[in-house]
Structure 1
């Protein structure tokens, strides 16, 4: 195949070849938006992981993988005559100009605020509700924060984080009530979901990113549990052969090695 001078043109030509109905790759030809959507999400997470690890070489590679996903989606659309990659690039460039009138407006009129601009865009797309435009495919914690922030803009919010703590106790009590009345799985799941939603609200009210807070808790749990494993391994044992009390004692020992304290399975 020819090699266009611009790397993006080369990538677009490569994707066209992969999707060629006769000479293309069988796997690539079979894909559609829905089938590659999980890969798109995965690549975005891998970009974030490279950033978190401060791995510049990996970041370059992962950004390329993510760009490939964008090109893939655009090619599928182009084949059905809906839009192409140029239309995608034009749309985002137009949006950035529209959302930065203080930089690009030529008439000197005072620019509207960021949220006013986004609200106008949602209205133009047929969505006038406060919660319109929040993607359902977002990770649940992220979507919960966005829902709560939108509602807070119109005054549907707690004034004091302590009020949220009271609500948290109420929701925990409702989980206990469901367990006491037979533990119907659907109802327990519903109540646990309410409990998690309130936890997210507490984090938001305290200006804490719940994803980051949970990630730190995950790392702490992993670090302490690995201490348990190592201590038992030094005795020629493994966790399955130890009692809960023994593992709790080792957990507490691991906790004492760190600046902050916590309980079994928790902080």
Structure 2
């Protein structure tokens, strides 16, 4: 065993039993906006786009029905969507997005890179922790799983997703870089009474494996179809004619040759 085994295990246990915080700026972040934004995304993605204030998870496939992306998409306002995806694939994804932009200028795409950064808090005490940092109600009914909200966290303007990659109760908190240290310090201070720990990427990857959450370039790659990747519930074949729909429908009808388990 690596000498990292013990410390990583401690981070995982503390997060699962109490609450942990980690840095998530490495995700790719985009904003798609304009009057044609929703139609554009429905054409590219296999899942339906969410209503305002809600989030969906969705694969993206090419014309051959092979996985080329996996995204979290929030509808943040009228004709405005926030998208999070793989940092390793963001240049490829931007080329794909730009290739399929409508010619009438009805859609705009902005890639944030490091002009938008984030922190994730996860674990059974994460809601109690977040509630100490905000002036709005984040109870289960007021801030549901897969909700998106803009709110001040620790006094800083943030976007908050009610979702985590650990599979626990938790939140992704996104802010401009100038506010990240302020928010982190507020989280650390408010989290003391809950036994807050910092956890790193290896702990995060361990927790996502425990929940059988796939990750890009490992379980999800362009050699697999969406049903081979066990993404069934995110593939809406009955919606509009998205790119790769015909090939995806064929895979579904014939049954996948492989299956992620």
TM bucket (normalised to shorter chain) is under 0.3
Q: As a proportion of its length, which structure holds more helix? A: 1
Q: As a proportion of its length, which structure holds more strand? A: 2
> Is the radius of gyration larger for structure 1 or structure 2?
1
Return the TM-score normalized by structure 2: 0.19
Return the TM-score normalized by structure 1: 0.19
Greater relative contact order (Cα < 8 A, sep 6+): 2
